[in-house]
Amino acid sequence: MVLHVNPINERHVREPGLVVVDSAAAGDATALAFQQMLAGRWATATAERTTRDPGQPGVRLRCHLDMRQELPDCG
């Protein structure tokens, strides 16, 4: 159960391909690594830090991505 998640702003999902990703992880390193994986593939507005919900395990992170803008493969 997620208690303190802010509502999704309509502008972040107003068109097909725009996505709000809320994630939960055991710690900062995992949450930020997941966000980085997303940012390596799509144009992503990243979060600078995670949040903690009092009384809940782990950390939370929200980022916004645009699946219409797939980044070129750099490998």
pLDDT in tens, 6-59: 777 777 677 898 999 999 999 999 999 999 999 999 999 999 999 998 898 999
Which pair of structure tokens corresponds to residue 51?
């949040």
Q: What's the predicted TM-score (pTM) here?
A: 0.77
Rounded Cα–Cα distance for residues 18 and 8 (Å): 12
pLDDT at 1: 43
pLDDT at 12: 66
Say yes or no to pLDDT of 71 above 90. no
Burial 24-42 (b: 16+ CB within 10 A, else e): bbeeeebbbebbeebeeee
pLDDT at 2: 47
Say yes or no to pLDDT of 74 above 70. no
DSSP notation for 17-48: TEEEEEEEESSHHHHHHHHHHHHTTEEEE--S
* Domain spans in the chain, listed from the N-terminal domain onward: 15-67
